[in-house]
Amino acid sequence: MKIDELTYLQAKTSMNNKLIVEAYKKEGLRANVQNGFAKPDQKTSLKGLKVLVDARLTNDTVITKGSTVYIKEEELHTKPWAAKILESEAVGVPFIIVDLTNIEFVDPNLNEGAKIDATPISMADLPNLADRVYGKP
């Protein structure tokens, strides 16, 4: 393997389509009345939770720390993985691990100070892209 083919991790990173997000704080049931019938509001709501650690998906997409992932609130109330609150010195706050299949959509929060390098690159520059992004080892 050539050095150009390596991926350099520069920060804590979750892998295998699992995201480390802030722990969900359960609230009491909220009623949603429609057509005279009350049903739990959690059945129709999505809850946004902050991503606490960069996540590299199996297709090499990266969901950055600080992004918000939206999950069906009903799943946060009923699924065993949502109740499994973990702690680690590396993360610093209580968190849950969420599989990508449980996420409805992602807000990368680009308006909160994240920058995208929009510098165009040529095909000839591709072998040096890792060095440009992560610095030389």
Residue-wise pLDDT tens digits, 84-110? 999 998 889 999 999 999 999 898 876
Which residues, given as ranges, of the chain have pLDDT below 50? Answer: 1-6
Domain count, the chain: 1
Q: CA quadruple 42, 44, 49, 51: dihedral positive or negative? A: positive
pLDDT at 95: 94
- Provide the 10 A C-beta neighbour count for residue 18: 15
Q: Give me the domain span that covers residue 16.
A: 8-108+120-134
pLDDT at 3: 44
* Integer-rounded Cα radius of gyration of the chain: 19
Residue 113 placed within a domain: no
CB 55 within 8 A of CB 63: yes
What is the domain-level CATH number for residue 45? 2.30.33
Residue 22 placed within a domain: yes
pLDDT at 57: 84
Residue 2 placed within a domain: no
Residue 73 structure tokens: 């609130």
Residue 3 placed within a domain: no
Residue 18 placed within a domain: yes
